[in-house]
Amino acid sequence: MARYSILRRTIATPLILSALLLAFALIAWFVGSRPFNQTVIDIFLQVVFVVGLYTFIGNSGVISFGHIAFACLGGYVAAWTTIKPMMKGTAMPGLPDWLMQMEIPFWAAALAGGTFAAFWALVFGAVLMRLSGIAASIATFAMLAMVNAIYSNWSSVTAATSSVVGIPIVRSIWPYMIAAILAVFVAWAFSISRHGLALRAARDEPTAAAASGINIPRVRLIAFVISGAIMGAGGALYAHSIGLVTPDTFYLGLTFTTLSMLVVGGMGSLSGAVLGVLILSSLIQVLRWLEAGVQVGASTFALPGGVQEIALGVVMILILMFRPSGIMGNSELTGLRARTEKPVEPGTD
Amino acid sequence: MSLLALSNISVRYGRLTAVRGVTFTLAEGEILFITGPNGAGKSSLLRAIAGVTPPAGGRIDFADHDITGRAPEDIARLGLSMVPEGRDVFGSLTIEENLMVGTGMHSGTRGWRARAASELEAVYATFPILKERRHSQAGLLSGGQQQMLVIGRALMTTPRLVAIDEPSLGLAPNITDQVYERLIALRAERKLTLLIVEQSSTRAMMVGGRMMLMRGGEIVLDGDARALGQSEAMQAAYFGYGEH
């Protein structure tokens, strides 16, 4: 009964977020321009990544710098399973025969990428989840560096640092939108689940959580695996959106963009994860247009190049100055008025 | 048959010894107050019993299990529920979520959902204010309400023994009265065993039961709360008179 009530009370959040994502897709569909389409696809992929990050970071409170490693694992699964066998033979001759012959559709590659990443999340997580605080964060970063080093050097299987091309490109926005919405629902379902609840309790008060019978490393591991799966699937789709992968596609750049989107949106909130992406990506897009030049009457107005990065940095600083816990903080979009209950004055006891 | 038995328990933090050689047993249904001045080792002892700070030496038995050095979550599963000092509610969770967290450890056993639901109703019946505000964030509650919440949370695990660290800390006396009233009622209803740490012996004398006085990491007095509270030995031991 209590379970049912928590479901009913919180279902509005993923529904509102899905509606927002659908709205972005519809805009792209109506505009119908190829570059804009690509931008919206990028936004959906970022949503998948940031929601994947939220699933672990938001619920556990442990910052992970390593999740993009799982996207890397997923991206290469897409390369291994969808490129034409002939092309694979030249680029990655070391692949086992069954993998060499494999040619599966992109959505199956996304599922395979998610599964492969989840498996490695389980292996890495079994060790990492015993750590906490900054030690855990540094260890996740080490994991990212390890994966990057392996993929940059294992030339017979990953073509080392050169680009692996020939991944079938999927240009329709709908699969990406569906993936983003699925990620939102998975993240939501986890955070209201028994394990999600336990993990959030452990984030707030580890001692009291352990005294309430919560095995903290275990619930953290569950979140790590689920978020790894989301990242892996996202990585595979990312590969299909641009048609190629290199180890550095999935390294520091993507790590810091996705993390800053999560921080700006609000680490403890699923709505924050999605809004962080939508707001920052929209801002980047607007700045790009302005840099390219806009017609105002007879004259063309254009910002000098490089303003995009600076403006983005300024906006992020401003948001974090005035809302240090991100745009959403710990709260979610619920469709009702935001919960604005005032704390009872301590003196009234 | 004792529910909890400590023999020769010591707790160390680095080179500092907080608890030295504590031995006692606690029978089912008993109420025991551990009192003593600041730094006597009361909280350390409680944390050692709950497994939060593993003891440096000695042995602890609870409900026929050797729990020495076991993880706190395992000890909680056996039915020993600790309420840590400082009312640490899970601030970003709602009251109801706070209460449900503890029932997770029984998941998978037959009928746990039904039992969790009935436990929830029982806690709400004991602390009606929690039901009233069940969907508010726990971090927004007042001190007294938070204290009720953490006690309620401990009860949700259907424990046999509840160990509470300073339930009256920072609470107005009338709120403390309420909290104790509920605790005493619960003990009678459920045959709960209570182990309560309090700095002052006043509360123990009002409630009655057994009382131990700790000083310098050792138990210096053990006896009936009311009788001890009025004795001069208590005063002397608490303040350390006659040792100089």
Query: How do residues B35-79 score in pLDDT, each as one tens digit?
Result: 998 889 999 999 999 999 999 999 999 999 999 999 999 999 999
Query: How do residues A121-160 score in pLDDT, each as one tens digit?
Result: 999 999 999 898 899 999 999 999 999 999 999 999 999 8
pLDDT band for position A345 (cuts 50, 70, 90): very low
Q: Residue A348: its pLDDT value, please?
A: 40
**Over chain A, what is the mean pLDDT?**
90
- Other beta carbons within 10 Å of B206: 12
Residue B222: CATH number of its domain = 3.40.50.300
State the Cα–Cα distance between residues A59 and A36, nearest whole angstrom: 33
- Decide if B244 is inside a domain: no
Where is pLDDT greater, at B186 or A27? Answer: A27
Low-confidence ranges of chain B (pLDDT < 70): 1, 241-244
Strand partners, B61: B5, B66
Choose from A195, A212, A269 for mutation: most chain B CBs within 10 A: A212
State the Cα–Cα distance between residues A47 and A309, nearest whole angstrom: 20
**Interface predicted TM-score (ipTM):** 0.84
- Between vectors from CA B115 to CA B63 and to CA B193, what angle results, nearest 5°? 30
Consecutive H or E run containing A199: helix A194-204
- Decide if B125 is inside a domain: yes
- Decide if B49 is inside a domain: yes
Q: Residue B241: its pLDDT value, please?
A: 61
Query: How do residues A299-309 score in pLDDT, each as one tens digit?
Result: 888 888 788 78
- A339: nearest CA in chain B? B136
Q: Give the distance from CA B212 to its chain's centroid.
A: 14
Contacts of A254 (CB under 8 A, 6+ apart): A49, A68, A71
State the Cα–Cα distance between residues B67 and B50, nearest whole angstrom: 9
State the Cα–Cα distance between residues A122 and A68, nearest whole angstrom: 15
- Decide if B129 is inside a domain: yes
Cβ pair A197:B104 closer than 8 A: yes
- Decide if B137 is inside a domain: yes
From chain B, pick out residues whose CB is under 8 angstroms from the CB of A204: 88-93
Mean pLDDT computed over A267-285 = 92
Q: Assign residue B80 a region (left: φ > 0; alpha: ψ between -120 and 50; beta: otherwise).
A: beta
Residue B38's domain comprises 2-239
Cβ pair B90:A205 closer than 8 A: yes
State the Cα–Cα distance between residues A41 and A285, nearest whole angstrom: 13
SS3 B65: strand
User: What does pTM read for this prediction?
Assistant: 0.88
pLDDT band for position A221 (cuts 50, 70, 90): very high
Q: Are B9 and B57 in contact (CB under 8 A)?
A: yes
Query: How do residues A82-101 score in pLDDT, each as one tens digit?
Result: 999 989 988 899 999 999 99
**Option in A9, A203, A214 nearest B73 (CB):** A214
State the Cα–Cα distance between residues B164 and B192, nearest whole angstrom: 13
Would you mind telling me the total number of residues written for chain A in this entry? 349
Q: E strands within chain A?
A: 164-165, 244-245, 294-296, 299-301
Lookup: tokens for B233: 């030995």
Q: Residue A330: its pLDDT value, please?
A: 80
State the Cα–Cα distance between residues B187 and B165, nearest whole angstrom: 17
Q: Assign residue A213 a region (left: φ > 0; alpha: ψ between -120 and 50; beta: otherwise).
A: left
Q: How many domains does chain B contain in total?
A: 1
Cβ pair B104:A198 closer than 8 A: yes
CA dihedral of A87, A92, A95, A98, whole degrees rounded to 10? -10
Mean pLDDT computed over A15-20 = 95
